[in-house]
Structures are given as structure tokens and as C-alpha cells.
Amino acid sequence: MNLHTPRPYILGETTWKTIKTQAYEVVVLPWGAAEAHNYHLPYAADILESEYIAAESAQLAWTRGAKIIVLPAVPFGVNTGQLDITLTINMNPSTQFAVLRDVADSIYRQGLRKLVILNSHGGNDFKQMIRELGPQFPEMFICQINWYQILDQSKYFQEHDDHAGEMETSILLNIAPHLVLPLFEAGEGKGKKFRLEGLRTKLAWTPREWTKATDDTGIGNPATASEEKGKRFLRDLTQRIADFFVELSNAHLADLYET
């Protein structure tokens, strides 16, 4: 049983009695994925990360006066390259767009004009969806944050993490250690590169077929992960995101550009 005091910036913990008296400025939509994360991390890793980072960032922003509310996380992401991995759940981009449009429509009708998608999954990309929603919801600001791209991994971790490696394992050791298996049970997370030079050098791009790109579903070695590394990384990350939340909460949408 969770006995903590309800957090007024988390929609799922807040009642209509509170909501109807609040004037919110920023709505945050965490978005994750349900997928395999090597042998040692849970399928919900991306969901847990998006929920935690959104909540912690919102808490920091709230204490600085930002009027912010975090929605429940969307638990499914684009996993078209992993459909042969049992119980990895795919949500197609077209379905994501429909979900996002409905969320935007709901809050737009209620007078809310600032929506932040806090994305926790590399297969998700909302840029073109945001472009398409712009004309449908005039005077509304929508943006995405890919939290895993904000900080330089090399300042916190020994190994670069693409998926379920040192960074993600350190984060989960910090926020949900009871869901992390002992690291000796993890695979090495050795990724297999494309043979085509143009794909290796990112001259061209195509989705990876995950069972051909990795043996254990991870890409990135988790062996040197630690709770302390995760704590330090999350502290700096949530502060950066909170700074943006405060800035956006205080911003006038008619005055976003320098003169």
C-alpha cells in the first residue's frame, strides 16, 4: 500500500476537488514502451523511467511556483522491429498519433495550451505528429523531450548505453531496485552493427531488427552500473527538465521569439 501524501502535480493522485480550484499551465504526458530489456531489467523499464523523471522534474518545478500536472504514462511505444520477441507490445505511429491527438483535443477544449511529451523510448518520434497537430490546435504549444538525449552519458557512465546498458540499469537500481535481477544474470549487451557502411555511419537510416542486432535484447554493457551512478544522473537530469518546466510555465505563448 502506498501511504505517501497525494502529490498535487500528479493527476492520478489528485481529486476533482483539488483540480477544479487549480489553474494549470503545463501538462506533461510521459510516454514509454513495453519491451524486453536484456535479461535483468523489467519490460516496464521505459514506463518506470518516464513516470519517475516526469514526477521528480514536476516536483522540483512545482516548488518553484510552476503550475504543472503530470498525466498517467502511455505504456506502449513503437516496437515494429521487436514483434518477434514475446510480449513486446507494439503501438504503430498512426495509433500514437490518434492517442496524442485525443489527449491534445481534451486539454485544448479545457483551455490548457502547453503540452510536453516526456519520451522514454528511442523508437518513439513525435516530431511529425506535433507538426500535424499545430494547425489543428492553433494557439497550442506542443513539444517533446527525449530525456535520454539531454545529458552527456560519458560524464556519468563508463559504457555508452543504447538499450538496457549501464545508464538504464543504474537508473532502475535507483528507482526500482526490487525489479532488477543481479547483474551477473545480465547479458553483455553486445550490439551487432550493419554491414552497410552507409547505415553504420548514419548516412542512411532504417529500423533495426532487434533479434539480429543483439543476442540478449540489450545494446550496452550493464556490468558497471550502480545505484549511485543512477542517483547522480537523475539528480542532474530532473533539474534540467524542471528548469524548462518552470520556464515554459511562465512563458507567454504569443511571445516565444526574440525581437
Q: What angle do CA 74, 77, 80 make, to 5 degrees?
A: 160
The residue-averaged pLDDT of 103-127 equals: 98
The average pLDDT across 24-34 equals 98
| Amino acid of residue 174 | N
* Separation of CA 220 from chain center: 18
pLDDT at 110: 97
Residue 2: which pLDDT band, with cuts at 50, 70 and 90?
Answer: low
Q: What is the pLDDT of residues 37-84, one digit of tens each?
A: 999 999 999 999 999 999 999 999 999 999 999 999 999 999 999 999
Q: Are strands 141-146 and 26-31 parallel, antiparallel or unpaired?
A: unpaired
pLDDT of residue 3 exceeding 90: no
User: In this predicted structure, what is the pLDDT of residue 259?
Assistant: 87
Q: Determine phi and psi for 241, rounding to 5 degrees.
A: -70, -40
Query: SS3 for 145?
Result: strand
What is the reported pLDDT for 224?
98
Report whether pLDDT(1) > 60: no
* CA–CA distance, 28 with 152 (Å, rounded to integer): 24
- What's residue 4's pLDDT? 77
Mean pLDDT of the chain: 97
pLDDT digits (tens, 9 = 90+) for 179-191: 999 999 999 999 9
Please tell me the chain's helix, strand, coil percentages from 3-state DSSP, rounded to the nearest 5. Answer: 45, 15, 45
- Domains located in the chain, CATH noted: 11-249 (3.40.50.10310)
Question: Distance between CA atoms of 47 and 81, rounded to whole angstroms?
Answer: 19
DSSP-assigned states of every residue in the chain = ---SPPPTTBGGG--HHHHTT----EEEEEE--B--BTTTB-TTHHHHHHHHHHHHHHHHHHTTT--EEEPPPB--B--GGGTTSTT-BB--HHHHHHHHHHHHHHHHHTT--EEEEEE--TT---HHHHHHHHHHSTT-EEEEEEGGGTS-GGGT-SS--SBSSHHHHHHHHHH-GGGPPPGGGS----B---SSHHHHTTSS-----HHHHBSSS-BS--TT--HHHHHHHHHHHHHHHHHHHHHHHH--GGG-S--
